[in-house]
Amino acid sequence: MLKKAGAILLAAGALGLAACGDDDDDTTAASGGGETTAAASGGGAEPSVTFMAPKDGGTSPATVTAKVDVTGFKIDPKQVGMAKMAGEGHLHFSMDGGKFDYPKYSGANGKLAVQLGVDGKYSPAVAPTITYKGLPKGEHTLEVDLANNDHTDTGVTASTTFMVK
């Protein structure tokens, strides 16, 4: 089942990576991103993830494209659903605790969440961006978690809170 889920995630993510480019080697410093926490890992740089957009405390239209900067962690679509490897995996985005992690809001990522049975929890991604459409006015909190190839949590997360006007 994990191989099937990995193949689905790979297919959905290939378009995202082609459109966005591979940013996991980007060393640009984050500005205005949300809080980042990291779990200890063996050797190498500590994995981290920081929101580049939307800005924490900022405002956004009802359609928001989030972008994160990932360092010390390789996003590898070919390994999704495979064995856990230190410092490698994919992303799990969660808008308002999963309330908006359905195809209606997170598009292809939401469709993938349905296929994996995690809709309403998070939207999986193999690119450092995700777009949510049709968010209602008000305050929203978006969280991203670095996930291992086998979908387990690495303990590295970031969040940003913003207003939709």
Domain assignments of the chain as residue spans, ordered by start = 2-164
> What is the pLDDT at residue 95?
98
* Per-residue pLDDT tens over the stretch 102-148: 999 999 999 999 998 999 999 999 999 999 999 999 999 999 999 99
Mean pLDDT of the chain: 81
Whether the pLDDT of residue 34 is over 60: the answer is no
The CATH number assigned to the domain with range 2-164 reads 2.60.40.10
- Which uninterrupted H or E stretch holds 88? strand 88-95
> What is the pLDDT at residue 40?
35
Q: What mean pLDDT do residues 147-165 have?
A: 96
Q: Is residue 93 a contact partner of residue 68, using CB atoms and an 8 Å limit?
A: no
Q: Is residue 121 a contact partner of residue 98, using CB atoms and an 8 Å limit?
A: yes
